[in-house]
């Protein structure tokens, strides 16, 4: 409880939690498209590709203003994206290799530029660490305000181009055939993704930013088939992991915010994959089990009806061995019979003989009708 109180009273914690929440919302929302379009690793590549942009912006302007660095990072990310599109469109090299090359080469070039900064006598080692791992604790309230404004802008564009982006994600060829310029929409959407990545760099850093793009959306995907609901859920998951990550990391020394946020969102993914309704692993395992039991139930009931038809008395008792033989020796007949007894469709005459009740006959006949 004290922790939640601190959320409202402690300036640093409040700022960090707000920042990571904003980041979670915008990366969750944009990540939805990345995951649906199978471009999850684009986020990873573009966050690395941003390094030379950040450093160049710093070298050129000499300013450490977040906005300046963000613009530099954004430009580098977009150049990286265009480069990737060029490689995949005109050569046989595929997207995964193109991403790998851009990620590592841009990053390597960024490292060289960092050394130039060092040569100029400016402190940078700390700066690099912030870029790599993020340092949410250094967030100022005005940084958060800037993040929020940019996020708002990004999200308004998403809403404005809602149906175009939907078309791009699900049926790009159809979109092109009815006259939308899909290439430009593609570039616009990726640019928005780059912006979302760049505003997260200061908080969680390069390596973990990719998880913030992919994980909330992958978790949200498990709960719904609707794009709008998926996006809202994804943003909520992002925000939850941001806030709880900030709170948890404030409790222990040596727990930096970025990794904790990533572990929280990874847990949400794991939970969603296991327990999501309809799609989740546990859910589908359980429903398969139920279907299986229902099938045996029907077939045993059916067999008993068939046997009963051989006799004048429909409630004539039948031997267990006969029923088991009729079920092709698949087993589970005994359990099924006790289930049928529980439902009042079958009564046990003696240890090895069972007969249908009136309700059971009716039930078996409706099953038969449904199946024919």
Partner 1 sequence: MSASTEILLIAIVTAVACAIPGVFLVLRQMAMMSDAISHTVLLGIVLGFFAFQSLDSPWLIPAAAIMGVITVFLVEMFVNTRLVKEDAAIGIVFPALFSIAVILISRYASGVHLDSDAVLLGQLEFAFFDRSQLFGLDIAHALKVMGIILILNVILLLLFYKELKISTFDAGLAAALGFSPVLIHYGLMMMVSITAVGAFDAVGSILVVALMIAPAATGWLFTDRLDRMLIYAVVAAVLSAVGGFAMAIWFDTNMGGSMATMCGVVFIIALLTAPDRGLIAVALRRMRQRWEFSQTMLAIHLLNHEGTDAEEDECRVDHLWEHLRWQPDFAEQVIRYAEGHGVVRRQRGILNLTDEGRAIAEKAMVR
Nearest residue to 83 (alpha-carbon basis) of 65, 100, 110, 102:
102
Nearer to partner 1, 106 or 165 (CB): 106
Residue 188 interacts with partner 1 (CB under 8 A)?
Answer: no
Which of 61, 63, 115, 228 binds partner 1 (CB under 8 A)? It is 115
Question: For residues 163 and 72, what is the distance between their CA atoms, to the nearest angstrom?
Answer: 30
Alpha carbon 231 to chain centroid distance? 10
Q: Per rule CB under 8 A, is residue 112 in the interface with partner 1?
A: yes
From residue 117 to residue 136, what is the string marking binding to partner 1 with x (rule CB under 8 A)? --x--------xx--xx---
Query: Among residues 90, 299, 128, 284, which one has the least CA distance to residue 207?
Result: 128
Interaction of residue 189 with partner 1, rule CB under 8 A: no
Nearest 5°: CA angle at 109, between 107 and 115? Answer: 105
Q: Does 279 bind partner 1 (CB under 8 A)?
A: yes
Q: Residues 91, 181, 251, 352: which binds partner 1 (CB under 8 A)?
A: 91
Binding flag, residue 273, partner 1 (CB under 8 A): yes
Contact 301, 360 (CB under 8 A): yes
Which residue from 33, 48, 158, 345 is in contact with partner 1, where contact means CB under 8 A?
48
Task: Kindly state whether residue 254 participates in binding partner 1, applying the rule CB under 8 A.
Answer: yes
Q: Which residues contact 119 (CB under 8 A, 6 or more apart)?
A: none
Closest distance of CB 198 from partner 1, Å: 17
Cβ nearer to partner 1, comparing 123 with 351: 123
> Is residue 94 near partner 1 by the rule CB under 8 A?
yes
**Is 252 near partner 1 (CB under 8 A)?**
yes
Which residues make up the interface to partner 1 (CB under 8 A)? 35, 38-41, 43-44, 48, 86-87, 90-94, 96-101, 103-112, 114-116, 119, 128-129, 132-133, 207-208, 210-211, 213-215, 217-218, 221-222, 252-256, 258-260, 262-263, 266, 269, 273, 276, 279-281
């Amino acid at each position: 409880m004290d922790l939640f109180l601190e959320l409202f009273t402690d300036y640093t914690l409040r700022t960090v939690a707000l920042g990571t929440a904003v980041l979670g919302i915008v990366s969750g929302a944009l990540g939805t498209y990345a995951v649906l379009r199978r471009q999850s690793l684009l986020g990873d590549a573009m966050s690395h590709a941003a390094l030379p942009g950040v450093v160049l912006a710093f070298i050129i302007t000499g300013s450490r203003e977040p906005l300046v660095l963000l613009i530099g990072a954004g430009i580098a990310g977009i150049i990286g994206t265009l480069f990737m599109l060029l490689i995949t469109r005109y050569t046989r090299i595929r997207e995964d290799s193109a991403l790998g090359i851009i990620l590592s080469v841009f990053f390597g070039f960024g490292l060289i530029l960092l050394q130039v900064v060092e040569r100029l006598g400016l402190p940078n080692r700390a700066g690099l660490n912030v870029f790599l791992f993020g340092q949410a604790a250094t967030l100022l309230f005005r940084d958060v305000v800037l993040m929020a404004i940019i996020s708002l802008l990004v999200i308004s564009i998403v809403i404005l181009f809602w149906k175009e982006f939907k078309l791009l994600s699900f049926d790009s060829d159809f979109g092109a055939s009815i006259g939308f310029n899909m290439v430009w929409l593609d570039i616009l959407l990726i640019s928005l993704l780059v912006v979302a990545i760049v505003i997260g760099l200061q908080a969680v850093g390069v390596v973990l930013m990719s998880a913030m793009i992919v994980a909330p959306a992958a978790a949200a995907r498990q709960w719904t088939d609707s794009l709008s609901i998926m996006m809202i859920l994804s943003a909520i998951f992002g925000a939850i992991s941001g806030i709880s990550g900030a709170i948890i990391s404030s409790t222990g020394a040596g727990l930096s915010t970025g990794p904790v946020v990533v572990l929280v969102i990874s847990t949400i993914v794991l939970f969603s994959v296991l327990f999501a309704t309809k799609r989740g692993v546990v859910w589908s395992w359980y429903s398969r089990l139920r279907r299986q039991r229902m099938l045996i139930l029907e077939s045993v009931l059916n067999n008993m009806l068939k046997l009963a038809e051989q006799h004048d008395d429909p409630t004539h008792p039948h031997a267990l061995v006969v029923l088991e033989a009729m079920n092709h020796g698949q087993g589970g007949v005994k359990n099924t019979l006790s289930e049928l007894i529980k439902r009042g469709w079958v009564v046990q005459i003696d240890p090895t003989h069972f007969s249908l009740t009136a309700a059971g006959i009716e039930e078996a006949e409706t099953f038969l009708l449904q199946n024919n």
